[in-house]
Amino acid sequence: MLSAKLQDALNEQMKNEFFSAYLYMAMAGYFEAEDLPGIASWMRVQALEEMTHGEKFFNFITEAAGRTDFRGFDSPQNDFDSPLGVFQVSLEHEKFVTASINKLMDLAKDEGNHAAQIFLQWFVTEQVEEEASFGLILRKLERIGDDGNGLLRLDEELGGRGFVPPAAE
Ligand code: FEO
């Protein structure tokens, strides 16, 4: 059973997760246009992961006898000044997602909703990984600087990422 307040916050986070997929596809479009197909592919995989995150919220809300509420969102950023700029924006976005997950967890605790806390625990851990992976690429890009060959090597490396669906719960 979900309170109206918790249901609203879960729906808002479902929107954030689906928006993340939309944002990362926009970033993939930027990298495709920049002839960096490996980084574009990495972003596409990230977008697929975000879709599964959104679906987890959908599943939890419905299994908890709540009601889903799909909300609109603003256009994501499409233009960037550099690959480094993209990863600065994406890391900031992940920090926003982490903060909203933490707020949701605080609400679930305040309401004594144990099921929601257990559900959200997966996201708390996931956000540590998300910030780490975006942060690592950001630091690599900082070191690469204007080295075109370094950027091509990173493109090749990131192109190796495959989509691994999260284990079914
Ligand atoms: Fe699902 Fe990257 O936050």
43 Cα: distance to centroid of ligand 1 (angstroms): 12
Asked if residue 110 belongs to a domain, the reply is yes
Asked if residue 14 belongs to a domain, the reply is yes
What average pLDDT does this structure show over 140-169?
Answer: 90
Asked if residue 25 belongs to a domain, the reply is yes
Share of the chain above pLDDT 70, in %: 98
Return the exposure string of 106-127: e unless at least 16 CB atoms fall within 10 Å of the residue's CB, then b. Answer: ebbeeeebeebbebbeebeebb
Residue 143, domain extent:
4-72+82-158
- Is 155 a pocket residue for ligand 1 (Cβ < 6 Å)? no
What count of other Cβ atoms lies within 10 Å of the Cβ of residue 40? 22
110 Cα: distance to centroid of ligand 1 (angstroms): 24
Please, are residues 154 and 141 in contact by the beta-carbon 8 Å criterion?
Answer: yes
The pLDDT tens digits for 33-82 are 999 999 999 999 999 999 999 999 999 999 999 999 999 999 999 999 99
Asked if residue 58 belongs to a domain, the reply is yes
Q: What mean pLDDT is reported for the chain?
A: 96
User: How many separate domains does the chain show?
Assistant: 1
pTM: 0.95
- Is 101 a pocket residue for ligand 1 (Cβ < 6 Å)? no
Asked if residue 77 belongs to a domain, the reply is no
